[in-house]
Structure 1
Amino acid sequence: MSDITDPGLAEAGVRRIDWADRSMPVLRRIRSRFRDEKPLAGLRIAACMHVTTETANLLLTLKAGGAEVAVASSNPLSTQDDTAAALVADGIAVFARAGVDMDTYYRHIHQALDLAPHLVVDDGCDLVNILHTERADLLEGVTGGCEGTTTGVIRLHQMAREGALRFPVVAVNDTATKHMFDNRYGTGQSTLDGIVRATNILIAGKTVVIAGFGYCGRGLAERARGLGARVVVTEIDPVKALDALMQGYRVEPMAQAAGHGDVFITVTGNRDVIRAEHLTVMKDGAILANSGHFDVEIDVRALQSLAVDVLRVRAQADEYVLADGRRLVLLAEGRLVNLSAAEGHPAAVMDMSFADQALTCEWLATAAPTLPPGVHQVPESIDSEVARLKLASMSITLDTLTPDQEDYLSSWRSGS
């Protein structure tokens, strides 16, 4: 049983999934091994993820490993309906349709959980949250899970601190390969791609205000500057703010940046980063975009209360007309602009993130029963293996240590 928009879109979805697969050589190698070894045989896996062509290749890898898989979308606007249809045709239960309301969004998560999973794969912690609050009857059968977003990891740590988390969850988001590729290079490119598709603006010459200078913010700042923007960074962390400053970016509080920014992008994992006091001083035509996981970083309700009219000016751009005549443009309803107005990260980026996910699921298949409830890191060997496979797919070779070098590094007796 599934809930998708149109099964007739499957053929088009297969073509697009295959296209993405061409840029995902690491996951393809893992899928080939999984098909032979069946490391996930007998396991049921429920996922809450963006239903895109890249995610499809991960889900097909888990299925190739012998798992029974069900997926719900982790964002009401990010589902690619043809991809969903292709997955259903390939035997994966999919509960996702583009543009659903919030009631349907949560119903889909419940339907994916009806699989009674052994393992869960989450983006944003909504599935794990519902497991603990509304579907606790299933917890006894869940041995472990993976989380792929910064927002989700933050929520998991909060659950763990309160003693609420009942099974081990691996923070796949925190691996070096995921941070490097997905957060930095992926978010940097795909967010600007979404903004340009939604608005067709010229980035060069604009003042782009980036809220948050973690890996995502760094990637965004690099790409925006590369396109000719003047970049302003807002931060609450003094170390990250200093890093931004030393990289040549202007660092200001949002209250100051709000008055002169042209484009505002939030990537913090927190709520109400752009609030009413900021909206009231923004210039006419300012563009608001969010690339954090949930639609809480921009206070959309405050924007609605300030507006006297709202106009849909482009497919993913709503113009809020304020009482004084100023117009503020909100993209993708404040949701993830890179997935709602574009196609998310390039497949070559997601290749590494989803390779991390696949190998972590394989590891959890045997390791989960030995792990205590809480947030765990991906074993370093998995991170290194993903990087090694990626380099191999790009025909890159590395130096190796000589015996003398190994002896030198392992001894404290050798001095200068």
Structure 2
Amino acid sequence: MNTTENYAVKDLSLAQQGKLNIEWAESQMGALMKVKKRFEKEKPFKNLKIGIALHPTKETAVLVRTLRAGGADVAICACNPLSTQDDVAAALAQEGVKVYAWKGETSAEYYENLKKVINFQPHVTIDDGCDLISEIHQNYPHLIPTILFGNEETTTGIIRLKAMEKDGALKYPVLAINNLKTKHLFDNFYGTGQSTFDGIIRATNILIAGKTVVVCGYGPCGQGVAMRAQGLGGEVIVTEVNAFRALQAKMDGYRVMPLIEAAKEGDIFVTVTGNKNVIDLAHMKKMKDGVLLANAGHFDAEINVKELKRSAKMRKIRPFMDEYHYKGKNLYILGEARLINLAAAEGHPSVVMAQSFCGQSLAVEYGIKNKDKLKVGVNELPVEIDELIAKLQLESLGIKMDNLTKEQKKYMDSWQEGT
């Protein structure tokens, strides 16, 4: 460990490799680089302190560089104990960023690093999963008057924030980054779908073709996972508690059934719900010998590993694969049931994160310009930001599209012309 007042990282000597990885990410994130270039000129964040709890990946480092280019002072910690890329954290520390993160944090270390970012006394918070915001509200309420607003990256975080808002517990404005179309229709769908199987395959080196893959949850993330499972040759079963999503999965060509039934058939189980104890001991008792269980939801609560540990004998087989001998059979938990795409792999591809982090960057700019208009609670971002991100991404990919003619615009605005 290398630790000072301004950083706590696993190995500072990894900084050069981290720098190269960040440069590679930048080469894939053209849309965000366009935003960074403008921020360098305009300095919209001069004298602004931004506290971040995100996955410290090479893509997040590009976001950090973008915010700093705009004049911000940044402190960052992880939003998951296993998601830090240690070479990237080292590179950020060497660049002068206040970074407190390493892969394999204990729960106590995780919250200690959150505390360091909070003690930085940020004016703006950027969160993924709402741990930073929750910690501030529960243990540092005296800092809330100095916080202008926050951003929330993910579905789980938005759900928690709306629960806080409903209880009257949320005391400052938060911008819902996840609700941007350019975020949840791409990051959640294409990003989660690909990176989940990147993590599963790296953890196990298993062949997906011919396997029965049970996807628990059919929101945008679950839809992406199911699509990629099918594309890799897997037979997909979807489990759901939402009637609309269950019907959608059926119409998309998947089998749909209760999880207690799917438990008997599955070879690979992936939870993507954002809920607790989705896979419980009752389901594990029904499972075949040798099944793999992975989680692609934000927290490690979806698979009830705590109860499994009390009832089973565990041994580590591979770095991100634990074998549990339970009821005469072996169950394999991947990545400690934490986010498999970040525990065992590198998270979403850079190109899709360019859109998500354009959203984060432009939302901070929007929040600063409109800080007196934001309501305490969860705030939606204007459609113009979504449209701008889509155009920036298309430009960076070298894609052109048609525009409406004057006649077409006039027709779309009229009502008189019919059959």
Shared fold (TM-score, shorter chain, > 0.5)? yes
Q: Alignment partner of 2:188: what SS?
A: helix
The equivalent of 1:337 in structure 2 is 340
**Aligned partner letter, 1:398:** M
**Aligned partner letter, 2:320:** Q
Q: Which residue of 378, 382, 385 maps to 1:382?
A: 385
1:83-122 superposed matches below 5 A: 83-122=88-127
1:288-299 superposed matches below 5 A: 288-299=293-304
Show CA shifts across 1:56-90 (max 9, x none): 00011000000000001001111111101111111
**Aligned partner letter, 2:383:** E
- Pairing 1:226–2:231 present: yes
**Aligned partner letter, 1:27:** L
CA distance in 2, matches of 1:108, 1:70: 10
TM-aligned CA deviation for residue 2 of structure 1: 1.3
TM-aligned CA deviation for residue 415 of structure 1: 2.2
**Aligned partner letter, 2:272:** V
CA distance in 2, matches of 1:362, 1:93: 21
The equivalent of 1:316 in structure 2 is 320
- Pairing 1:210–2:215 present: yes
Q: Alignment partner of 1:352: what SS?
A: helix
Q: Output the TM-score relative to the length of structure 2.
A: 0.98
The equivalent of 1:412 in structure 2 is 415
Show CA shifts across 1:370-390 (max 9, x none): 211011112111111010011
Q: Which residue of 45, 61, 67 maps to 2:66?
A: 61
The equivalent of 1:352 in structure 2 is 355
Show CA shifts across 1:124-168 (max 9, x none): 000000110001111000011110111000000001111111111
Show CA shifts across 1:241-300 (max 9, x none): 001001110001111000110000000011110011001111000110000000000011
Q: Which residue of 177, 197, 202 maps to 1:192?
A: 197
Q: Which residue of 77, 81, 85 maps to 2:86?
A: 81
Q: Output the TM-score relative to the length of structure 1.
A: 0.98
The equivalent of 2:3 in structure 1 is none
The equivalent of 2:329 in structure 1 is 326
**Aligned partner letter, 2:161:** L
TM-aligned CA deviation for residue 211 of structure 1: 0.3
Q: Which residue of 388, 392, 395 maps to 1:392?
A: 395
- Pairing 1:264–2:266 present: no
TM-aligned CA deviation for residue 405 of structure 1: 1.3
CA distance in 2, matches of 1:378, 1:267: 25
TM-aligned CA deviation for residue 339 of structure 1: 0.1
TM-aligned CA deviation for residue 23 of structure 1: 0.5
For structure 1, the residue ranges without an aligned partner over 5 or more in a row are none
CA distance in 1, matches of 2:119, 2:41: 28
The equivalent of 1:4 in structure 2 is 9
1:112-151 superposed matches below 5 A: 112-151=117-156
TM-aligned CA deviation for residue 98 of structure 1: 1.1
CA distance in 2, matches of 1:107, 1:302: 26
Q: Alignment partner of 1:288: what SS?
A: strand
CA distance in 2, matches of 1:56, 1:236: 37
CA distance in 2, matches of 1:27, 1:33: 10
**Aligned partner letter, 1:10:** A
Q: Alignment partner of 1:198: what SS?
A: helix
The equivalent of 1:15 in structure 2 is 20
Of 406-415 and 167-176, deviating more is 406-415
TM-aligned CA deviation for residue 12 of structure 1: 1.1
Show CA shifts across 1:380-405 (max 9, x none): 11111010011111221121111121
CA distance in 2, matches of 1:306, 1:368: 52
* Identical columns (%): 49
- After the TM superposition, which parts of structure 1 deviate over 6 Å for at least 4 consecutive aligned residues? none
The equivalent of 1:201 in structure 2 is 206
Q: Alignment partner of 1:74: what SS?
A: coil
The CA RMSD measured in Å over matched residues stands at: 0.8
CA distance in 2, matches of 1:295, 1:229: 25
Q: Alignment partner of 1:327: what SS?
A: strand
TM-aligned CA deviation for residue 368 of structure 1: 2.1
The equivalent of 2:170 in structure 1 is 165
CA distance in 1, matches of 2:135, 2:371: 20
Q: Alignment partner of 1:42: what SS?
A: coil
**Aligned partner letter, 1:383:** D
Show CA shifts across 1:13-71 (max 9, x none): 10110011110000111111111110111110000000000000001100000000000
- Pairing 1:237–2:207 present: no
Show CA shifts across 1:166-213 (max 9, x none): 111111011111112210000000000100110111000000000000
CA distance in 1, matches of 2:342, 2:214: 20
